[in-house]
Each structure stands twice: as structure tokens, then as C-alpha cells.
């Protein structure tokens, strides 16, 4: 399993792996929004939590459609399905590799982009914390969507349509935690719900995704 994680990280970093693509998208979005909305600090501060969370969500989605599609095309997925490690483990490891190459950089870059969006001072900690708790759920739910659409031509578009509605709870609680933090209100409840979504999806969805993969491999 560690070998699979190492391979996926190595593939992401090498040429054409798409490492940093999501991060660049996130950066551009956070730069474009102030240009579009205007420089009024109050308006920006109001919408910053939502924009940052929507940006993180879309950036995550960018690299998801290749999660299983590449392995499917070159035949590795057949071979991984017949390998000694369970397919559920393969899904979990690939989701983890996706989070390490996409989600974690977003978490680390978010405070810098918060400055661009005039995010109020007290909210920075909550922003990092909520992204840290919420982005793993984005990767796992996305892995499920990618498993459902693997093997379909232009499956990426269909995957976005399937996955984005499933992202709604994560987005609602994540953005809510940050905006509560910005207003100085207690933000523990949405954060706990966010952590619950992540734990629940990480526990259940690898099984669903592995089953979807087996059906798609037939």
C-alpha cells in the first residue's frame, strides 16, 4: 500500500501529473474575485469564507477525473484489481494521495489568499482548521464519483455533475465555520459536523467506490 502511495505521489509530481494545477486555479480564483467585486473591504470580508471554500472545492474537482481514468486506460487498474491488496485499500490510498497533492496544498495556501480577500483576522485559524477537516471528505467523495464514471468517454463532466451535489454539506458547514469565526461567534458545531462528514465518508465510501470499480471493470 505504501508502494502505491509512493507511486501516485511520484506520478503527480512528475511531468504531466497535474500537481499544482488545483493550487494555481485556487490562486487565480482568489485574485479574480476582488477584481470582479471591487475593492470594498467590507463586501470582500463578507463573501471571503464562501469564495475560499467554493474555490477549494472546484480546485479539488479539477484533478479528480484522472484519479482512476489513467489507471483504467493503461491497464494498471485491471492489474491492481488482481493484486494482493484489496480494491477498497486501493481506493483509500488513491484518495489519500489525491488529498496530499491537492487538498493539503490548498489548506496551506488558503491563509495567504485570505489576505487577498480581506478575511477578518480571527477567521484565519478557523479557515485553516475547517479546510484541514473538510478537504479529505472532498477527495474521498470525489474518488467515489471517479470510480462511478471510470471507463466512460468524457466521464469527467458527468463526474462533476454527480459529485458537486454531494459536496454541498461539506461546503455549507465549512463556510459556516469560517464566517462564524469571522464574526467572533462559536464555530465548534459546524466544525464537528464537518469532521463527522469526513470521518463518515472516509469510512464508508471506499467500499462503495471499490464496488463501482469492480462493476466497471467487467
Partner 1 sequence: MELVVSDLACARGGVPLLEGVNLRLGAGEALVVRGPNGCGKTTLLRTLAGLQPALEGHVSCPPETMAYAGHADGLKAVLSVAENLEFWAAIHGQGGVNDAMAAMNLTDLADRQAQNLSAGQKRRLGLARLMVTGRWVWVLDEPTVSLDVASVALFGEVVRAHLAGGGAALMATHIDLGLAEARVLELTPFRALPRAPDGFDEAFL
Per-residue binder mask for partner 1 (CB under 8 A), 68-87, x = binder: -----xxxx-xxxxxxxx--
Sign of CA dihedral 88, 94, 97, 99: negative
Long-range CB pairs of 106-113 (<8 Å, 24+ gap) are 106/22, 106/23, 106/26, 106/56, 106/59, 106/60, 106/131, 106/135, 107/131, 107/132, 107/135, 109/23, 109/26, 109/27, 110/26, 110/52, 110/56, 113/26, 113/27, 113/30, 113/52, 113/55
Contact between 3 and partner 1 (CB under 8 A)?
Answer: yes
Contact between 218 and partner 1 (CB under 8 A)?
Answer: yes
Give CA–CA dist 182/5, Å, rounded.
37
For partner 1, the closer CB: 92 or 195:
92
Smallest gap from Cβ 8 to partner 1, in A, equals 10
Smallest gap from Cβ 38 to partner 1, in A, equals 44
Smallest gap from Cβ 64 to partner 1, in A, equals 19
- CB atoms under 10 Å from CB of 218, counted, come to 5
Contact between 11 and partner 1 (CB under 8 A)?
Answer: yes
Give CA–CA dist 59/55, Å, rounded.
6
For partner 1, the closer CB: 36 or 84:
84
Residues 15-74 within binding reach of partner 1 (CB under 8 A): 15-17, 73-74
Contact between 164 and partner 1 (CB under 8 A)?
Answer: no
Q: How many residues bind partner 1 (CB under 8 A)?
A: 24
For partner 1, the closer CB: 4 or 60:
4
Residues that bind partner 1 (CB under 8 A): 2-4, 7, 10-11, 14-17, 73-76, 78-85, 217-218
Amino acid at each position: 500500500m505504501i508502494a502505491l502511495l509512493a507511486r501516485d505521489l511520484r506520478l503527480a509530481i512528475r511531468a504531466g501529473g497535474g500537481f499544482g494545477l488545483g493550487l494555481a486555479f485556487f490562486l487565480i480564483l482568489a485574485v479574480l474575485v476582488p477584481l470582479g467585486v471591487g475593492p470594498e473591504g467590507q463586501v470582500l470580508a463578507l463573501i471571503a469564507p464562501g469564495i475560499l471554500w467554493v474555490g477549494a472545492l472546484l480546485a479539488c474537482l479539477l484533478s479528480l477525473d484522472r484519479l482512476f481514468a489513467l489507471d483504467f486506460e493503461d491497464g494498471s487498474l485491471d492489474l491492481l484489481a488482481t493484486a494482493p491488496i484489496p480494491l477498497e485499500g486501493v481506493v483509500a490510498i488513491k484518495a489519500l494521495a489525491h488529498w496530499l497533492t491537492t487538498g493539503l496544498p490548498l489548506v496551506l495556501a488558503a491563509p495567504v489568499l485570505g489576505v487577498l480577500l480581506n478575511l477578518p483576522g480571527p477567521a484565519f485559524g478557523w479557515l485553516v482548521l475547517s479546510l484541514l477537516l473538510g478537504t479529505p471528505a472532498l477527495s474521498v467523495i470525489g474518488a467515489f464519483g471517479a470510480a462511478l464514471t471510470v471507463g466512460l468517454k468524457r466521464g469527467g463532466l458527468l463526474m462533476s455533475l454527480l459529485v458537486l451535489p454531494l459536496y454541498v454539506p461539506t461546503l455549507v458547514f465549512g463556510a459556516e465555520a469560517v464566517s462564524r469565526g469571522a464574526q467572533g461567534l462559536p464555530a465548534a458545531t459546524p466544525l464537528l459536523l464537518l469532521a463527522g462528514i469526513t470521518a463518515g465518508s472516509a469510512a464508508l465510501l471506499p467500499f462503495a467506490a471499490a464496488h463501482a470499480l469492480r462493476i466497471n471493470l467487467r
